């Protein structure tokens, strides 16, 4: 593991303490938010380290005494101090459309959020599933009008330098599969950018992958999340009940249609189960030709696992180093391959 990878792992597991002077400057004396709580895994401070060497969403820490890094003013810019390393840093700016509304007066930021050059659109609020580590289940389930999503993307494109779109958010219920597929098709139709979809498989409809590819979807994140072995299956009860066969069908179809060059990936949450179980899942995913993604567990407020310990640096190191060897042997890579989209996951740096 090189020094940049060690720095990123430290930031992911221990977080970052921000110098009060920097907080006052960035927030304009408290008028602007320092962070924007998008997801449980992206609720920290988004940083560009070393002029694009890597991006990281680091949990905020009140003090560096627990091992966390410190972000402070350095000459004409910012630097993050991680152990004995001093790395140039830049806080990713909040989107320029946060105060914008669409033609019907709806907040644009309710439908879309951008990190760097990626826009995330959410057709569903809340979720039809209730994973113990995710805070989406606590939100009211509803569908966003398709035209609202398309208009939000058009407005965001005016202020942000976007390169790709990710359709994600809550999982639709079975009765809303048609709505979700229509939303994907319409977004692809109106987007000049590549469009990826993050969603679980459909045991009763393995052909959804082909239909979405046919309307223009260029990539999939079909997230396994846990091995499903033993008690951990209770944390993702609905997803685990689909069984490995459903994931294998969907992932294999996606790889056949889109190839093995990073267009298909699947996330494993590290820290919820013994590392050997996570590595078994990573090896199984890699054998299917998709890129495994390593996401360290962060306890989210308002979830059943709120008081649980986050993934440790020791465990993350063990899984990461073994996973690097696995993907090399299987001819895939640790994903996602977009460097900006690696901000909340552990991937090779440099």
Three-state secondary-structure class, residue 235: helix
Give dist(CA 80, CA 70) in Å, integer: 5
| pLDDT tens profile 320-345 | 999 999 999 999 999 999 999 999 99
Note the pLDDT tens digit of each residue in 21-71.
Answer: 999 998 989 888 888 766 666 778 999 999 999 999 999 886 666 677 999
Mean pLDDT along residues 159-174: 95
Q: What are the residue ranges spanned by the domains of the chain?
A: 3-91, 108-342
Per-residue model confidence as pLDDT tens digits over 72-121 = 999 889 999 998 899 999 999 888 999 999 999 999 999 999 988 999 99
Task: State the Cα torsion 168-41-29-50 to the nearest 10°.
Answer: -100
Q: What are 67-70's contacts with CB under 8 Å, separation 24+?
A: 67/10, 67/14, 68/10, 68/11, 68/14, 68/15, 68/16, 68/17, 69/7, 69/10, 69/11, 69/14, 69/15, 69/16, 69/17, 70/16, 70/17, 70/18, 70/19
Mean of per-residue pLDDT scores for the chain: 93
Residue, of 201 and 300, whose pLDDT is higher: 201
* Residue 153: pLDDT over 90: yes
Helix, strand, or coil here: 177? Answer: helix
Distances (CA, A) of 251 to 22, 257, 337: 44, 10, 17
Q: What is the pLDDT of residues 226-274, one digit of tens each?
A: 998 877 878 888 888 888 999 999 999 999 999 989 999 999 999 999 9
What is the Cα–Cα distance from 281 to 266, expressed in whole angstroms? Answer: 10
Q: Within a 13 Å sphere around the CA of 205, how many CA atoms are in the beta-carbon half?
A: 12
Quote the DSSP letter at residue 109. G
**Is the confidence at residue 203, as pLDDT, over 90?**
no
264: Cβ contacts below 8 Å, ≥ 6 apart: 219, 220, 222, 251, 254, 255, 258, 289, 290, 291
Name the residue with tokens 């920290």.
44
Q: Which residues, at least 6 apart from 100, have a Cβ–Cβ distance to it below 8 Å?
A: 107, 108, 109, 155, 159
**pTM attached to this predicted model:** 0.94
Distance CA 225, CA 240 (A): 9
Helix count (H) and strand count (E) of the chain? Answer: 8, 15
Whether the pLDDT of residue 171 is over 90: the answer is yes
Q: Count CA atoms within 13 Å of residue 193 on its CB side.
A: 21
108-342 folds as TIM Barrel (3.20.20)
């Amino acid at each position: 593991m090189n020094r940049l990878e060690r720095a990123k792992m430290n930031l992911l597991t221990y977080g970052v303490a921000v110098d009060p002077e920097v907080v006052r400057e960035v927030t304009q004396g408290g008028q602007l938010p320092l962070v924007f709580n998008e997801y449980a895994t992206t609720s920290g401070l988004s940083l560009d380290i070393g002029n694009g060497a890597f991006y990281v969403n680091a949990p905020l820490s009140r003090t560096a005494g627990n091992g966390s890094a410190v972000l402070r003013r350095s000459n004409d810019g910012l630097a993050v101090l991680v152990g004995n390393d001093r790395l140039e840093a830049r806080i990713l700016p909040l989107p320029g459309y946060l105060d914008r509304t669409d033609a019907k007066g709806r907040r644009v930021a309710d439908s879309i959020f951008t990190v760097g050059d990626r826009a995330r659109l959410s057709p569903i609020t809340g979720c039809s599933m209730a994973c113990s580590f995710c805070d989406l289940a606590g939100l009211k389930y509803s569908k966003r009008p398709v035209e609202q999503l398309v208009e939000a993307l058009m407005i965001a494109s005016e202020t942000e330098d976007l390169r790709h779109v990710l359709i994600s958010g809550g999982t639709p219920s079975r009765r809303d599969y048609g709505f979700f597929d229509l939303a994907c098709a319409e977004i692809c139709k109106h987007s000049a950018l590549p469009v990826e979809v993050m969603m679980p498989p459909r045991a009763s409809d393995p052909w959804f992958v082909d239909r979405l590819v046919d309307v223009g979807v260029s990539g999939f994140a079909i997230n396994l999340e846990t091995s499903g072995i033993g008690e951990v299956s209770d944390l993702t009860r609905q997803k685990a009940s689909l069984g490995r066969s459903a994931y294998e069908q969907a992932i294999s179809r996606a790889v056949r249609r889109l190839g093995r060059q990073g267009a298909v990936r699947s996330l494993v949450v590290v820290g919820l189960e013994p590392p050997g179980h996570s590595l078994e899942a990573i090896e199984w995913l890699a054998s299917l030709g998709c890129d495994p993604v390593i996401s360290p567990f962060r306890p989210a407020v308002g979830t059943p696992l709120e008081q649980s310990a986050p993934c440790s640096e020791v465990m993350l190191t063990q899984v990461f180093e073994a996973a690097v060897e696995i993907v090399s042997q299987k001819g895939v890579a640790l994903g996602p391959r977009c460097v900006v989209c690696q901000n909340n996951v552990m991937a090779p740096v440099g």
